[in-house]
Structure 1
């Protein structure tokens, strides 16, 4: 999944297609969490959030719901901070978790 996600990112224009990038970053983040790489998972999830924020994409934020649930179980400080940022962004854009 991680290699497929990277290939997908390479195929789109990350500077112009933030909505798709947000979804792909979220998928790669979730894959990283599943294999136990919290630091990489947080890094990709942060990129997903930033991409969704650039376009105020509720689609991108909804796709981060699974990541948000995974972050809720993490004790890592960076993961906890990202969880707070995800929740704050979701609330600011008026979206609810699925």
Structure 2
């Protein structure tokens, strides 16, 4: 339920509740055994950070999402991450562009079709 609340706050652009919803969502799962859900939650947090204009935090959470998806070779997690490719492509900083390249490379390696 916590992950659903986070997704809802992200989609509504409810900046005030994103941080607390993030903490509840991450606290509700075991990050060591539930990497697929962790990747989805990190992707939702990343989307929220870009929406509120914090691209540095957005890139950090996107990197965490990618790492979580990679640990389990989760095509589901990588496909969910595919939703942010356009956002990363529009970023001018080197770190975001490097992350975009990593994401595309990992999605291709796992045979994931573009989102």
Q: Which TM-score band (shorter chain)?
A: over 0.9
RMSD between superposed Cα atoms in Å? 0.9
Counterpart secondary structure, 1:15: coil
The answer for the alignment partner of 2:22 in structure 1 is 5
1:14-62 Cα shifts (integer Å, max 9, x gaps): 0111000000000000100111101100000000000000000011011
Structure ID, larger Rg? 2
Choose the corresponding residue for 2:66, options 49, 74, 80.
Answer: 49
Shift of 1:2: 3.5
The answer for the alignment partner of 2:88 in structure 1 is 71
Choose the corresponding residue for 1:88, options 92, 97, 105.
Answer: 105
Shift of 1:3: 2.5
- Provide the TM-score with structure 1 as the length reference: 0.95
Q: Distance in 2 between matches of 1:76 and 1:3?
A: 28
The answer for the alignment partner of 2:13 in structure 1 is none
Shift of 1:97: 1.4
5+ residue gaps, structure 2: 1-17
- Provide the TM-score with structure 2 as the length reference: 0.82
Aligned length: 98
The answer for the alignment partner of 1:58 in structure 2 is 75
The answer for the alignment partner of 2:7 in structure 1 is none
